C-alpha cells in the first residue's frame, strides 16, 4: 500500500492538462453493452474505477481493452446477466450495468452495493423507475433480481430528487424500450449530456438532456460509435483551489469553464484572478483571499464533490466562513483530519464553521473518501513541514497521476510505499 508525502510551502506554477471525466466515462463505458458492435471511447482517464469498469465489461461479455486514453469495447460475446459481489463492491457505479442488461437481456442479477463513507446512497429510485417500465423486482441473498422478459415499456418517471445515477440508468434502459420514456426532475449535470451525446451517436432518440425533463424514444437496435469523453470538471476545480491555497499561478488546459460556473464565481468573489479562454482556465493568486460561504446543491449549484477542497481553502483564509452540505449525509469525515493540521473548524448539524488560521502545520492524516483525500492533499501543499497522507487508494479512484501533475507544477510531493 502506498502513501503520499508532501513538504508544504511551495507555490504552484505552470500548466497541466485536465483528464477526461471519470463520472462521464463510467456510464459511457456501460453504454457499450447496448450494442454488439464495436465502440471506441477517447479521453478516458487512467483510474482504478476505470480499470474496474473495463474488467466488468470483459466479465459481462463485452471484450474491452484500454490503451493510453482510449478504450475499445469490441464485438460482444454472449452477455452474462449476473453482476457478482466481488465486482460491484469495488465501485458503486457498477449498478449502471442494470439498465443496459435489462434492456438487452430482459433480466439482470446485481449484488446490492451497500453504503459508502459519505452516506447510504440507496438505489431505490433506480428500482422504482424500472418497476414503472414494467420490470419485476426481487431481493434475495444480497442480490436484486430484475426481470422484464416481455421487454421494457416507456413511461413517465418522476424522481423525488434529481439523482445522477438513476437518470443515467433510466436513459440506458429506455434507449431500447418500447415507446417513449420521460424522466421528470432529471439530473442536469454535464455528464448526463455527455452520455446522451454518446447514445445519440449509437442511434438513440433523446432530447432534453441537461434540462429537468429528458425524453427518450425507444429504438429497436443501437450501433457502435466513436465518442470523446468531456473534461473532468471536479479535477479542474480541485487544481483551481490548489492554486489558490498555495498562492500560485496555474493554467489548466483541455478543460471547460462552462461546467464550473458556480465554483469559478465563488473563487472570483474570494479575490482569485481567473481568466477564461477556449478550453483553458488561467488561475492566479494576486492578493489575500476573502472568506466565502458555500452551500452544496445539485447542478448547476456548488458541487458536493468540491465541498471538502473548499473547506481546506477556507481554513487558511482570514475570517469566518460556513460550509453547508445538503446533498449527502456524513460527508464531513475530513473535518477531524483537517483539525490535525491545526484548522479551527467545528461541525454543527449539516454545516461546518471555519475560522481561518495564519498557517497549517504538516501532520500524518488518513483518507476516508475520494474528495476528502483531495482536501488533505491541498492542506498538505500549504502546510508548514511534512504531511503524510495514508490510504491514498481512494485518490487513485478519481485523480489521474495526482502527484505527478502537482510535481510538474512545483509541489514537493512523492508517492512511496507505506510502512
pLDDT in tens, 147-179: 999 999 999 999 999 999 999 999 999 999 999
Which pLDDT score, from 0 to 100, does residue 116 have?
A: 43
Which pLDDT score, from 0 to 100, does residue 106 have?
A: 97
For residue 315, indicate whether it is catalytic: no
Which pLDDT score, from 0 to 100, does residue 221 have?
A: 97
Which pLDDT score, from 0 to 100, does residue 401 have?
A: 96
Q: At what angle do helices 307-314 and 233-245 cross, to 10 degrees?
A: 10
Tens-level pLDDT at each residue, the chain (419 residues): 899 999 999 999 999 999 999 999 999 999 999 999 999 999 999 999 999 999 999 999 999 999 999 999 999 879 999 988 888 877 878 899 999 999 999 999 998 765 444 344 568 899 999 999 999 999 888 888 999 999 999 999 999 999 999 999 999 999 999 999 999 999 999 999 999 999 999 999 999 999 999 999 999 999 999 999 999 999 999 999 999 999 999 999 999 999 999 999 999 999 999 999 999 999 999 999 999 999 999 999 999 999 999 999 999 999 999 999 998 877 899 999 999 999 999 999 999 999 999 999 999 999 999 999 999 999 999 999 999 999 999 999 999 999 999 999 999 999 999 87
First vs last Cα of the chain: how many Å apart?
8
Which pLDDT score, from 0 to 100, does residue 302 have?
A: 97
Residue 419 CB partners (closer than 8 Å, separation 6+) = none
Residue 402 Cα distances to 136, 201, 207, 393, angstroms: 43, 32, 36, 12
Q: Specify the fold of 22-228.
A: UDP-n-acetylglucosamine1-carboxyvinyl-transferase; Chain (3.65.10)
Active-site residue, from 39, 116, 225, 226: 116
Which of these, 142, 134, 148, lies nearest to 181 by C-alpha position? 134
Residue 306 CB partners (closer than 8 Å, separation 6+) = 234, 237, 238, 241, 263, 371
Q: ∠ at Cα 385 (8, 370), nearest 5°?
A: 55
Domain with CATH 3.65.10.10 in the chain: 2-19+231-417, 22-228
Q: How many CB atoms lie within 10 A of CB 58?
A: 15
Q: How many CB atoms lie within 10 A of CB 104?
A: 20
Which of these, 23, 97, 31, lies nearest to 60 by C-alpha position? 97
Q: Specify the fold of 2-19+231-417.
A: UDP-n-acetylglucosamine1-carboxyvinyl-transferase; Chain (3.65.10)
CA 195 distance to own-chain centroid: 14
DSSP secondary structure string, 97-132? GHHHHHHHHSEEEEE----BTTB----HHHHHHHHH
Which pLDDT score, from 0 to 100, does residue 119 have?
A: 42
Give this prediction's pTM: 0.95
With contact defined as beta carbons under 8 Å apart, do 198 and 225 qualify? yes
Residue 160's Cβ-count burial label (10 Å; 0-12, 13-18, 19+) is exposed
Amino acid at each position: 500500500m502506498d502513501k503520499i508525502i508532501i513538504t508544504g510551502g511551495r507555490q504552484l506554477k505552470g500548466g497541466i492538462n485536465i483528464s477526461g471525466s471519470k463520472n462521464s466515462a463510467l456510464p459511457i463505458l456501460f453504454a457499450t453493452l447496448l450494442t454488439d458492435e464495436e465502440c471506441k471511447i477517447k479521453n478516458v482517464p487512467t483510474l482504478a474505477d476505470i480499470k474496474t469498469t473495463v474488467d466488468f465489461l470483459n466479465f459481462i461479455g463485452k471484450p474491452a481493452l484500454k490503451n493510453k486514453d482510449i478504450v475499445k469495447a469490441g464485438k460482444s460475446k454472449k452477455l452474462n446477466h449476473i453482476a457478482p459481489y466481488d465486482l460491484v463492491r469495488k465501485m458503486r457505479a457498477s449498478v449502471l450495468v442494470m439498465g443496459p442488461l435489462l434492456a438487452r437481456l430482459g433480466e439482470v442479477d446485481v449484488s446490492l452495493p451497500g453504503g459508502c463513507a459519505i452516506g447510504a446512497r440507496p438505489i431505490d429510485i433506480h428500482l422504482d423507475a424500472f418497476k414503472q417500465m414494467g420490470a419485476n423486482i426481487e431481493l434475495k441473498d444480497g442480490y436484486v433480481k430484475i426481470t422484464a422478459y416481455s421487454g421494457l415499456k416507456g413511461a413517465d418517471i418522476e424522481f423525488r430528487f434529481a439523482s445522477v445515477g438513476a437518470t443515467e440508468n433510466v436513459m440506458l434502459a429506455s434507449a431500447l424500450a418500447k415507446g417513449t420514456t420521460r424522466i421528470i426532475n432529471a439530473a442536469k449535470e454535464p455528464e448526463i449530456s455527455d452520455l446522451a451525446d454518446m447514445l445519440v451517436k449509437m442511434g438513440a432518440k433523446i432530447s432534453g438532456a441537461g434540462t429537468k425533463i429528458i425524453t427518450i424514444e425507444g429504438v429497436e437496435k443501437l450501433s457502435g460509435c466513436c465518442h470523446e469523453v468531456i473534461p473532468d470538471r471536479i479535477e479542474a476545480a480541485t487544481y483551481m483551489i490548489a492554486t489558490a491555497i498555495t498562492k500560485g499561478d496555474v493554467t489548466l488546459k483541455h478543460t471547460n469553464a462552462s461546467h464550473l460556473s458556480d465554483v469559478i464565481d465563488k473563487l472570483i468573489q474570494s479575490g482569485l484572478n481567473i481568466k477564461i479562454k477556449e478550453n483553458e482556465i488561467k488561475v492566479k493568486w494576486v492578493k489575500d483571499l476573502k472568506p466565502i460561504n458555500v452551500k452544496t446543491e445539485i447542478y448547476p449549484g456548488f458541487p458536493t464533490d468540491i465541498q471538502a477542497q473548499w473547506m481546506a481553502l477556507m481554513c487558511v483564509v482570514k475570517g469566518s466562513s460556513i460550509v453547508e452540505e445538503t446533498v449527502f449525509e456524513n460527508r464531513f469525515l475530513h473535518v477531524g483530519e483537517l483539525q490535525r493540521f491545526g484548522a479551527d473548524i467545528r461541525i454543527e448539524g449539516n454545516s461546518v464553521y471555519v475560522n481561518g488560521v495564519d498557517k497549517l502545520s504538516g501532520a500524518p492524516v488518513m483518507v476516508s473518501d475520494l474528495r476528502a483525500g483531495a482536501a488533505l492533499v491541498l492542506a498538505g501543499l500549504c502546510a508548514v513541514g511534512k504531511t503524510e497522507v495514508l490510504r491514498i487508494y481512494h485518490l487513485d479512484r478519481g485523480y489521474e497521476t495526482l502527484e505527478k501533475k502537482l510535481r510538474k507544477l512545483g509541489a514537493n510531493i512523492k508517492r512511496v510505499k507505506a510502512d
